[in-house]
Copies of this chain bind each other. A is one copy, B any other.
């Protein structure tokens, strides 16, 4: 298809598509004449992924370039490619504190991961993110207990293992696996948060007779 058809099929304006081509986010079409290139399914799939990263993941173009590079590097194992996208989706960190309090919280996080038997890269930004949340709870005088954290972790592992991982199409095109990961992580994460608040409201009504 021509660029005008690619635009119609994807719903993305031609100037935006040209911008993605210039930035190297979208591979060039097949040149069929000096001023004419042909695009295919592969380009449509890539545009879907870019849109998910931009609109759902709200990632800056620099992060998107890194993820696209991982998608295009066929030598990179799928787990590592998904990790690239996963880490980019982590909340922007406050500057990583290098103090005793943070180190102590990080130790608690490490202990939790170990006691759960989880395999997590020790450099994962998510570990520091969790440590920062624990520090804030301490500051507010409402520390999280080990028992609470275990309870949450067990529940979530059940969710992920029984229900979430099977939705990611590992065998299809690399783009589709990443797109599915982004939607699963961000939008299902939001749905989860909203459903938790709805459950809280309902349970509060039941307990307090509202």
Contacts and interface: CB of A to CB of B under 8 A. Distances in A.
Interface of A: 48, 51-52, 56, 77-80, 82-83, 86, 89-91, 113, 116, 118-121, 124, 126-127, 129-130, 133-134, 136-137, 140-142, 144, 148-149, 151-153, 155-161, 163-165, 170, 179-180, 183, 185, 187-210
Most buried by B among A121, A140, A158, A207: A140
B79 A208 contact: yes
B83 A204 contact: yes
A168 to B, nearest CB: 8
Counting every copy of the chain, the complex holds 2
A77 B208 contact: yes
B210 A80 contact: yes
A194 B197 CA distance: 17
Given A113-B198, A126-B194, 8 more contacts: A51-B140, A83-B201, A129-B194, A149-B195, A152-B195, A153-B195, A160-B199, A189-B193
Contacts of A199: 118, 153, 156-157, 159-161
B140 A196 contact: no
Main secondary structure of the interface of A (DSSP, over half): helix
Nearest to A121: B201
Given A133-B190, A187-B136, A204-B83, A198 B159 contact: no
A202 B120 contact: yes
Contacts of A140: 48, 51-52, 56, 179, 183, 187
Contacts of A194: 126, 129-130, 133
Contact of A120 (B155, B157, B201): B201
Given A133-B187, A142-B183, A165 B124 contact: no
B195 A156 contact: yes
A197 B185 contact: yes
